[in-house]
Amino acid sequence: RMFQYHGIKHILRVLVLTLIFIEHSGMSLTEEDKQILIYFALLHDIGRDNEDKDDTHGDKSVDLIRKNNIRLKGVQLSKKGYRIAKLIIRHHCRDDEISMERIAKMPNFTAKDLGRAVKLYNIAKDMENSNAAQTAAEYLDQQIDEAQQANANAGITVVAEGDEPAI
């Protein structure tokens, strides 16, 4: 699927913004919290099948992750870490009020787990929806376009394993 907005550029923007946030926010994050945010950035829209507002693509993304047992090389999460990551992916496309209600009802989560999940949810939503990053996003788009054009001019085709891009 090729998307104008929610394609590879969007995923890369969310990832870059996440990495910048992790490095420069000054917020206290555990190593696993950082890994959860990276996991989110790379997989949050994997189930998207349209460009429209879609409150269900988070569910579709988690279903694909589970069905295909998707793990990312270099991302090490505990069982609880994966639960939190999937929870954030599932709810990132919904209204915050609905998401908070559902997060609060997570079985077997302590108050500390819930606080952590809410904190990471809010960070992930900010990275995914950041209006403040529009200028940076446009710059990244321009850099990606220029790199793709340079590769095309040099006869280089960049693809993931297989016939189609992995994301």
C-alpha span between 158 and 27 (Å, rounded): 35
End-to-end CA distance of the chain: 9
| pLDDT given at position 47 | 82
| pLDDT given at position 151 | 81
pTM of the model: 0.74
User: What secondary structure letter does DSSP report for 107?
Assistant: T
Distances from the Cα of 83 to the Cα of 12, 87, 89, 120, 137, angstroms: 23, 6, 10, 12, 29
C-alpha span between 145 and 153 (Å, rounded): 12
Rg of the chain on CA atoms, in Å: 16
Q: Supply angle C-alpha 78, 80, 82, rounded to 5.
A: 70
- Neighbouring C-beta atoms of residue 143, cutoff 10 Å: 11
pLDDT digits (tens, 9 = 90+) for 120-157: 999 999 888 874 455 556 666 777 788 888 888 888 77
pLDDT < 50 positions in the chain: 3, 131-132, 163, 165-167
DSSP states along 41-94? HHHTTTT---SS--TTHHHHHHHHHHHTT---TT----HHHHHHHHHHHHHTTS
| pLDDT given at position 134 | 56
